A = this chain, B = another copy of it.
Amino acid sequence: MTNESAQQAGGRSSTDVLKQREFVQIFDTTLRDGLQVEGVSATVEDKLRVAEQLDHLGVSYIEGGWPGANPKDIEFFARAATELTLATATLVAFGSTRRPKGKVDDDPTLHNLIEAGTSAVCIVAKSWDYHVLNALNTTLDEGEAMIADSVEFLVGHGRRVLVDAEHFFDGYKHNQEFAIRALEAAVVKGASHLVLCDTNGGSLPHEVGSIVAEVKAHFRNDVTIAIHCHDDTGCAVANAMAAVASGARQIQGCMNGLGERTGNTNLTTVIPNLELKMGYRCLPPGNLVRLTAVSHHIAEVLNRPMNPQAPYVGTGAFAHKAGLHVSAIVRAKDAYEHIDPVAVGNGTRFIVSEMAGRATINMKAEELGLDMDGAAVGHVIDELKRLEHEGYHFEAADASLELLMRRSAGWTHDYFTVESMRVITDELPSGAFNCEATVKVWVGDERYIDVAEGNGPVNAIDTAMRSVLIRHFPQLTKVHLTDYKVRILDGTSATGATTRVLLEATNGDRSWTTIGVSPNIIEASWQALAESLVFGLLHTPGEPHSSARQ
């Protein structure tokens, strides 16, 4: 079976829909609604970097924040105006309609929206009668007037105005007449988009599909319908696609499914669904391959670990574990993967674990360019079983796996040998802590003793080791640790339990992870650190200066 025939097999109706290639705008709200997720906070600098990434991906709109509600957001729009050059995206400031019984001219929210200086603005408007009557404590007529006045004011200031109809689906189910009246008020005054929000996130695809179709039939082509979902039923992506099938032409959502509670519509999922499976266009041609890199980059900027299970962009999205399938997958990837992972900038990965068969280890050896005979492969499998039983987990530690495989193939490193080490941690009279490590190390025939301070025991050992090794291996200046993760393996007896340490390092060109396991956290850390240094020396170009001290 060729790639082409499998693609056809996998997408029965793809030929009909591909003919359309209609455009669906992507409106990213990672920097506004996305930051409502628990546990994420972003500096203005972070937000500027995320905006650059979103533009690099090629979304149509970037909602940057709510100027006024958050002091950082005023600064964001000021800096964005001078520092960002966006190729594709339009920056949007978010706000709300004017206050009940207030006037547009002296409304602080509307004032801040204008001050933000964006060509487009998005304002939240109440379309569920209950919220107008009980949250705003005003009449339905005043609720309608708040929308009409605010849109008129903003359009009068030359802004493109998107109206975000909060709680729209619940409101429509409860009082359809008022929900439509709220939308009409916006359209009459020149809103460009009606954003139908499932604010509480409780809707299902069949409801969203039928209500959007009714709204679309009502407004025809007077306005663009946008859909804004939350994932409280696990259906945000399906809801957004149902809306598009019913005539919506803008999807609002967040990268990596960020957002309050269960998250907004995950753009990293819905974009490839629309482009690869539904026959729509969302990004500039050729940009879809940037999806995985942009997704990971944003996760890093926001200091939020990627979900390995994330569709399309997760490290596990095209990972194959079951040993017996590996050889079949290699023969015909398109019969085992729903899309070519390269289309979204991801790749096929074979996971090595205690369940690995010989085929998996052979694949991995080929990937690493190692020449391994049958005995060496058998040794790797035995070692994996033994070590994973002790608590090691090589799926997460690519560099330690590679070193294990190299050792099984007969390789040993001769970069250094540690004779002993000691770390003293003291509380100083100031109340601060001090850590000091002493290491005794052999490099070739030379014995070194060195001491270093650090901000913790592991850092102190790392610093002391480097001060020795760097004399022989100057390329180590390029290598540094980027993350340090500790897990207690037996949660029920934490203080006496086994500790697993994962260390991430980089040399600027590539990153790697090593693992250490021990009841003693320092020993586990040192195992991971030693492997990290060895891996760094093995893979960082630079002639070993073994005679540097001679």
With both beta carbons as reference points, the residue of chain B lying nearest to A388 in the complex is identified as B41
Q: Contact: A422 with B427, CB < 8 Å? A: yes
Q: How far is the CA of A418 from the CA of B521 in the complex (A)?
A: 24
Q: Pick from B13, B134, B260, B494: contact of A1, CB below 8 A.
A: B134
16 residue pairs bridging A and B, Cβ less than 8 Å apart:
A202-B338, A204-B238, A205-B205, A232-B311, A233-B338, A234-B269, A260-B322, A262-B317, A421-B427, A422-B427, A423-B426, A424-B424, A455-B521, A457-B457, A459-B495, A484-B486
With both beta carbons as reference points, the residue of chain B lying nearest to A240 in the complex is identified as B234
Q: How far is the CA of A351 from the CA of B41 in the complex (A)?
A: 14
Contact with B along A305-325 (1 / 0, CB 8 A): 001111110111111111000
Residues of B within 8 Å of A473, CB to CB, are none
Does A548 lie at the interface of the complex (its beta carbon under 8 Å from any beta carbon of B)?
Answer: no
Q: Contact: A520 with B433, CB < 8 Å? A: yes
Q: Shortest beta-carbon distance, A274 to chain B, in Å?
A: 10
Q: Pick from B1, B41, B257: contact of A354, CB below 8 A.
A: B41
Does A156 lie at the interface of the complex (its beta carbon under 8 Å from any beta carbon of B)?
Answer: no
Q: A131-B335, A204-B241, A456-B520 are in contact. List 18 more A-B contacts (CB 8 A).
A: A8-B174, A38-B315, A204-B278, A205-B241, A231-B309, A233-B273, A233-B311, A234-B237, A260-B320, A262-B314, A420-B427, A421-B427, A422-B424, A433-B523, A433-B526, A456-B499, A457-B521, A483-B488
Contact with B along A179-222 (1 / 0, CB 8 A): 00000000000000000000011101111000000000000000
Q: How far is the CA of A81 from the CA of B204 in the complex (A)?
A: 40
Does A447 lie at the interface of the complex (its beta carbon under 8 Å from any beta carbon of B)?
Answer: no
Number of interface residues of A (CB under 8 A): 131
Q: How far is the CA of A519 from the CA of B426 in the complex (A)?
A: 15
Q: How far is the CA of A492 from the CA of B521 in the complex (A)?
A: 23
Q: Shortest beta-carbon distance, A178 to chain B, in Å?
A: 12
Does A415 lie at the interface of the complex (its beta carbon under 8 Å from any beta carbon of B)?
Answer: no
Does A482 lie at the interface of the complex (its beta carbon under 8 Å from any beta carbon of B)?
Answer: yes
Within 217-231 of A, Cβ neighbours of B (below 8 Å) are at: 231
Q: How far is the CA of A353 from the CA of B234 in the complex (A)?
A: 26
Does A270 lie at the interface of the complex (its beta carbon under 8 Å from any beta carbon of B)?
Answer: yes
Residues of B within 8 Å of A318, CB to CB, are 261
* Copies of this subunit: 2
Q: Contact: B260 with A321, CB < 8 Å? A: yes
Q: Contact: A457 with B522, CB < 8 Å? A: yes
Does A85 lie at the interface of the complex (its beta carbon under 8 Å from any beta carbon of B)?
Answer: no
Residues of B within 8 Å of A455, CB to CB, are 495-496, 499, 518-521
Within 144-182 of A, Cβ neighbours of B (below 8 Å) are at: 167, 170, 173-174
With both beta carbons as reference points, the residue of chain B lying nearest to A236 in the complex is identified as B234
Q: Pick from B134, B201, B433, B496: contact of A332, CB below 8 A.
A: B134
